[in-house]
């Protein structure tokens, strides 16, 4: 097992009705005024908006709204949020939604405490030195943003989708009520399942050594994600399935899954972000296109792990069988497995390659343009 340090300060409040505690939680922490960040209409449709307002008012917490965060959140809207947070002198961010809302909230938290152009932090040209405290109520389990130090934003002018990572943006408290996810559509549930699986397999495959405890932890998460997704697709209001899925997705990217693994990186996300930036596809859809393509290219570089994956997850004998089974499962749940299936018909491979290569440079992952071309060609099968 490799040496590691583990740090995760996010307090999780999990279960039915927990969103009603948000006012008390903020008050106890001495928060007086929040920027209330949310998306388009989903929180209003499920009655959550009203409940949040009541919890804030009952506890004398002032709030300023910042709504309209879009999936694949963009820099221009984030900058508007930063201006509001500064002008209104809020002392915390309350993000209510999925990964996009939380990521925009985290970025506003950073921007509100800095005089620099916030994009500089995404280009890794400056180091994040502080942020407002972030509180979240999660409504879509997928990204793990509710319990991690990352945020992903798209600069729509330059078509770059990049991330920040800082201990200052771990949410202070995240409220996870599985009932709030009952309304997540079958389509987004499929994307969420792909994303949670992706978060566990990145290091699992790309690392050169994976300890037994990590193998078993990751395989347990993958099987849980697959089984609960099948139940959710049949029965969207199944509390236990939604609850186990929600917690599995959080555990997949809260820092635990990569511990003790030697080497490894996030190559599938690097290429998926290029597709997200260029075609504005949902993140999970970008991953279901790229993962089988990347696996086809990578499998011979880590044959034992691919064989293990096939056996443990699908009870199959060969690496190729494991990859085909995973691809078939993505297809079965409704996630696209090629650019064509995602509706991207006219694309230039070189454009995707250049975009991903830029991310590889920022993230310092040593993929060449030739390698990227080979992988992206596989995504067209």
Interface residues toward ligand NZQ, by CB under 6 A: 39-43, 46, 71-72, 97-101, 103, 139-140, 142-145, 148, 150-152, 180-181, 183-184, 188, 192, 195, 253, 269, 276, 283
Q: How far is the CB of 367 from ligand NZQ (least distance, A)?
A: 18
DSSP single-letter state for residue 10? P
Give the whole-angstrom CA distance, residue 327 versus residue 293.
9
**Burial degree of 330 (CB within 10 A; 0-12, 13-18, 19+):** buried
Query: Is the CA virtual torsion 317, 372, 152, 112 positive or negative?
Result: positive
Which residue lies nearer to ligand NZQ by CB, 39 or 111? 39
Q: Out of ligand NZQ, Zn ion, none, which partner does residue 97 contact, by CB within 5 to 8 A per kind?
A: ligand NZQ
Which residue lies nearer to ligand NZQ by CB, 68 or 260? 68
With binding defined as CB under 5 A, does residue 103 bind Zn ion? no
**Burial degree of 28 (CB within 10 A; 0-12, 13-18, 19+):** exposed
Query: 158: Cβ–Cβ under 8 A, 6 or more apart, which residues?
Result: none
Give the whole-angstrom CA distance, residue 74 versus residue 66.
14
Give the whole-angstrom CA distance, residue 81 versus residue 67.
9
In sequence order, what DSSP letters do the residues of 262-328 get, joined into one string?
EE---HHHHHHHHHHHHH---HHHHHHHHHHHHHHHHGGGSHHHHHHHHHHHH--SSHHHHHHHHHH
Q: How far is the CB of 370 from ligand NZQ (least distance, A)?
A: 26
Q: Out of ligand NZQ, Zn ion, none, which partner does residue 39 contact, by CB within 5 to 8 A per kind?
A: ligand NZQ
Q: How far is the CB of 237 from ligand NZQ (least distance, A)?
A: 12
Give the whole-angstrom CA distance, residue 263 versus residue 4.
12
Question: And the tokens for 25?
Answer: 């939680």
Q: How far is the CB of 283 from Zn ion (least distance, A)?
A: 6
Q: How far is the CB of 221 from ligand NZQ (least distance, A)?
A: 15
Q: Out of Zn ion, ligand NZQ, none, which partner does residue 98 contact, by CB within 5 to 8 A per kind?
A: ligand NZQ
Of 103, 195, 202, 244, the residue at the interface with Zn ion (CB under 5 A) is 195
Which residue lies nearer to ligand NZQ by CB, 143 or 319? 143
Q: Out of ligand NZQ, Zn ion, none, which partner does residue 101 contact, by CB within 5 to 8 A per kind?
A: ligand NZQ
Which residue lies nearer to Zn ion by CB, 272 or 376? 272
Q: How far is the CB of 107 from Zn ion (least distance, A)?
A: 17
Q: How far is the CB of 380 from ligand NZQ (least distance, A)?
A: 22
Give the whole-angstrom CA distance, residue 317 versus residue 310.
6
Which residue lies nearer to ligand NZQ by CB, 170 or 309? 170
User: CB–CB of 104/85 below 8 Å?
Assistant: no
With binding defined as CB under 5 A, does residue 146 bind Zn ion? no
Which residue lies nearer to ligand NZQ by CB, 136 or 305? 136
Q: Out of Zn ion, ligand NZQ, none, which partner does residue 253 contact, by CB within 5 to 8 A per kind?
A: ligand NZQ
- Mapped to the 3 state alphabet, what secondary structure does 133-172 carry? CEEEEECCCCCCHHHCCEEEEEECCCCEEEEEECHHHCCC
List residues binding Zn ion (CB under 5 A): 195
């Amino acid at each position: 097992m490799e040496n590691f340090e583990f740090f995760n300060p996010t307090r999780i409040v999990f279960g039915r009705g927990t969103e009603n505690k948000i006012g008390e939680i903020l008050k106890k922490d001495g928060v007086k005024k929040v920027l209330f960040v949310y998306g388009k209409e989903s929180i209003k449709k499920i009655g959550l908006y009203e409940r949040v307002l009541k919890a804030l008012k009952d506890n004398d917490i002032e709030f300023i709204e910042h709504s309209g965060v879009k999936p694949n959140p963009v820099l221009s809207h984030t900058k508007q949020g930063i201006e509001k947070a500064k002008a209104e002198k809020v002392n915390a961010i309350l993000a209510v939604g999925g990964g996009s809302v939380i990521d925009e909230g985290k970025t506003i938290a950073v921007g509100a405490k800095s005089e620099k152009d916030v994009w500089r932090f995404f280009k890794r040209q400056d180091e994040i030195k502080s942020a407002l405290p972030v509180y979240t109520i999660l409504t879509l389990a997928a990204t793990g943003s509710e319990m991690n130090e990352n945020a992903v934003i798209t600069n729509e002018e330059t078509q770059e989708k990049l991330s920040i990572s800082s201990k200052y943006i771990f949410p202070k408290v995240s409220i996870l009520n599985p009932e709030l996810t009952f309304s997540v559509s079958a389509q987004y549930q499929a994307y969420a399942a792909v994303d949670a699986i992706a978060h566990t397999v990145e290091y699992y495959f790309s690392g050169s050594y994976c300890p037994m405890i990590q193998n078993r932890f990751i395989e347990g998460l993958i099987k849980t994600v697959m089984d609960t997704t099948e139940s959710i697709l049949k029965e969207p209001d199944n509390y236990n399935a939604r609850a186990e899925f929600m917690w599995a997705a959080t555990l997949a990217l809260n820092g635990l899954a990569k511990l003790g693994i030697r080497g490894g990186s996030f190559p599938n996300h690097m290429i998926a972000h290029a597709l997200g930036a260029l075609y504005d596809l949902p993140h999970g859809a970008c991953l279901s296109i790229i993962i089988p393509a990347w696996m086809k290219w990578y499998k011979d570089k880590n044959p034992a792990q691919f064989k293990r994956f096939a056996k443990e997850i699908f009870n199959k004998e060969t690496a190729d069988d494991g990859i085909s089974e995973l691809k078939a499962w993505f297809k079965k749940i409704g996630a696209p497995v090629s650019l064509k299936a995602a509706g991207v018909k006219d694309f230039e491979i070189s454009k995707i390659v250049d975009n991903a290569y830029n991310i590889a440079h920022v993230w310092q992952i040593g993929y060449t343009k030739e390698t990227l071309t080979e992988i992206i060609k596989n995504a067209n099968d």
